[in-house]
């Protein structure tokens, strides 16, 4: 069975028992960022179902007042982190329908009503349509299609058949540039990461997971749409800035930021353009929603690894995680 079909069937099972008017996407860390494309899609395509993202701990301690039988909670964790399991219990206790996205069976899969296994974005052999962000996006598209209709649903599901090949091509295109960028960044301690709209989730994960967690770089995330409302004042000819240019409706904000950086930034400004990675090979009417599906693994598996090599760092090592009580 294709993963698109499994996602659609799971949504169908939810709708047999629940009338859904809200969906919450709950996770922690990179899994939380992986919900970005699904939430972005819901916000821009659904007229009848409200959507919101929550980090697991916040949801567990302070669940929203609307949480109840008309809510679908999609909860993601590779192996069932404690905060995410607590969030799943909070959703179940309030009567919400729950779907767990997971890699290994855990308490999370025991709590949730339904479950779908995904493949880790960090593994080269994982297929792009089967990672957590892709499955969450498929769930969102199926939910909209089955409740109010999504005219481009068939086009989008067909695009998922093409994303793995597109990702492999994007890796090959990115590797030479990533190696050169990493050599320039090796002596730096801070890298600003910028993105907007459908690409912002990939920028966020690159910041907090790839650069801060794995390589211990300071890495503020800046929304390109907010760049000229404060952050641009730190730009100078030495500042390391990594600008992600997505395709979609907020691209003009990325282009405006790029023009400013070309004028006032220096050689440490790097631009990664989704068009150059091949996103524009997908149908125009759905391509916007696939930015994250290609960008996130390219950032993790190409750029992060290149920087780890250039700095001679073991990206699997941590300073605190798994080592101390926290």
Q: Which two tokens stand for residue 35?
A: 């919900």
Is the pLDDT reported for residue 87 higher than 90? yes
- Choose among 243, 228, 241: nearest CA to 190: 241
pLDDT score of 258 = 98
Q: So what's the pLDDT on residue 322? A: 86
CA–CA distance, 237 with 178 (Å, rounded to integer): 20
- Tell me the per-residue pLDDT of 102-141, one tens digit each, with 9 for 90 and over: 999 999 999 999 999 999 999 999 999 999 999 999 999 9
pLDDT digits (tens, 9 = 90+) for 255-301: 999 999 999 999 999 999 999 999 999 999 999 999 999 999 999 99
H helices present in 148-272, as ranges:
153-160, 163-185, 200-205, 251-264
List % helix, strand, coil for the chain (3-state, nearest 5).
55, 15, 30
- Output the average pLDDT for the chain: 97
- What's the whole-number mean pLDDT along residues 209-223? 98
Distance CA 310, CA 184 (A): 9
Whether 30 and 209 have beta carbons less than 8 Å apart is answered as yes
pLDDT digits (tens, 9 = 90+) for 175-198: 999 999 999 999 999 999 999 999
DSSP states along 153-176: HHHHHHHHTTHHHHHHHHHHHHHH
C-alpha 65/C-alpha 79 separation (Å) is 28
End-to-end CA distance of the chain: give it in Å, rounded. 41
Least Cα distance to 36 among 258, 240, 244, 218 occurs for: 244
Q: Which pLDDT does position 162 carry in this prediction?
A: 97
Alpha carbons 195 and 206: distance in angstroms, whole number: 11
What tens digit of pLDDT does each residue of 233-259 get?
Answer: 999 999 999 999 999 999 999 999 999
Concatenate the DSSP letters of all residues of 280-316 into one string. GGS-HHHHGGGHHHHHHHHIIIIIIHHHHHHHT--TT
pLDDT of residue 159: 98
- E strands present in the chain: 22-27, 50-55, 71-76, 97-102, 114-117, 192-195, 221-223, 241-245, 269-273
pLDDT grade for 307, boundaries at 50, 70 and 90: very high
Report residue 125 CA to chain centroid gap.
19
The pLDDT confidence band at residue 95, using thresholds 50, 70 and 90, is very high
Give the separation between CA 301 and CA 171, rounded to whole angstroms.
Answer: 8
For 23-81, write each residue's pLDDT tens digit. 999 999 999 999 999 999 999 999 999 999 999 999 999 999 999 999 999 999 999 99
Residue with tokens 């730009």: 235
Structural domains present in the chain: 3-157 (3.40.50.10490), 165-311 (3.40.50.10490)
Interior/surface letters 83-97, b for 16+ CB within 10 angstroms, e for the rest: bbbbbbebbbebebb
Q: Does position 214 have pLDDT exceeding 90, yes or no? A: yes
Rg value, the chain, Cα: 19
Q: Flag whether pLDDT at 211 surpasses 90.
A: yes
Both tokens assigned to 21: 């008017």
Give the confidence band of 204 by pLDDT, cuts at 50, 70, 90.
very high
The two beta strands, 97-102 and 114-117, are parallel
Per-residue pLDDT averaged across 96-101, rounded?
Answer: 98
If one counts every other C-beta atom within 10 angstroms of the C-beta of residue 144, the result is 22
* pTM, to two decimals: 0.97
């Amino acid at each position: 069975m294709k993963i698109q079909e499994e996602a659609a069937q799971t949504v169908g099972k939810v709708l047999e028992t629940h009338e859904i008017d809200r969906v919450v996407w709950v996770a922690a860390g990179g899994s939380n960022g992986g919900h970005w494309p699904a939430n972005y899609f819901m916000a821009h395509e659904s007229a009848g179902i409200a959507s919101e993202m929550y980090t697991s701990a916040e949801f567990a301690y302070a669940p929203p007042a609307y949480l109840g039988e008309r809510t679908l909670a999609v909860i993601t964790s590779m192996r069932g982190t404690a905060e995410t399991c607590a969030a799943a219990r909070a959703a179940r206790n309030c009567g919400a329908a729950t779907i767990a996205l997971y890699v290994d069976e855990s308490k999370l899969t025991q709590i949730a009503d339904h479950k779908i296994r995904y493949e880790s974005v960090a593994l080269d052999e994982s297929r792009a349509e089967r990672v957590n962000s892709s499955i969450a996006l498929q769930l969102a598209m199926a939910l909209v299609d089955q409740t109010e209709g999504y005219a481009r649903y068939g086009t989008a599901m067909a695009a998922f058949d093409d994303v793995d090949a597109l990702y492999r091509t994007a890796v090959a295109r990115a590797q030479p540039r990533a190696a050169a960028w990493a050599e320039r960044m090796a002596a730096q301690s801070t890298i600003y990461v910028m993105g907007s709209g459908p690409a912002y989730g990939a920028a966020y994960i690159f910041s907090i997971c790839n650069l801060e967690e794995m390589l211990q770089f300071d890495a503020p995330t800046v929304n390109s749409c907010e760049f000229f409302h404060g952050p641009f004042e730190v730009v100078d000819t030495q500042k390391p800035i990594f600008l992600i240019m997505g395709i979609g409706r907020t691209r003009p904000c990325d282009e405006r930021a790029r023009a400013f950086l070309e004028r006032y930034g220096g050689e440490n400004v790097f631009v990664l353009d989704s068009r150059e990675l091949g996103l524009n090979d997908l149908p125009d009417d759905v391509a916007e929603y696939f930015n994250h599906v290609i960008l996130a693994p390219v950032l993790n598996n190409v750029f992060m690894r290149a920087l780890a090599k250039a700095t001679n760092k073991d990206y699997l090592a941590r300073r605190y995680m798994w080592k101390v009580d926290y």
